[in-house]
Amino acid sequence: VACSKAIIECAASSGVALEINTNGMRKRKVKTADGERYAYPVLPFWELASEYPVQVVTNSDAHKPAEIRAGQDKAFALAEQVGITYASYALVDGRIALL
């Protein structure tokens, strides 16, 4: 939890968006003491992130053309479930800037 908190606090204080990577949602679920879940994204991390003023982006982490946007619906549902704000961004002076 301490590492997760440090990552989230750093993102919040520096205005960097966090990423919900959906590649883990395309893989086989892992068995834990609490039952089966995706290897990542990990729900407790995102529940903690929702307590901070962070924005998120989603990424399918596509390794093949067929994987582009794969799992995005699940990522959007996860963000909505925990109440996370999606990042708004624009190209400013040739760089992507969060708005």
pLDDT in tens, 2-34: 999 999 999 999 989 999 999 999 888 999 999
pLDDT tens figures, 57-77: 998 888 899 999 998 999 999
Q: Which three-class secondary structure state does DSSP give residue 51?
A: coil
**Predicted TM-score (pTM) of this structure:** 0.83
A 10 A CB-CB count for 89 gives 14
Give the integer Cα–Cα distance in Å for 13 and 15: 6
- Long-range contacts (CB closer than 8 Å, 24 or more residues apart) made by 33-37: none
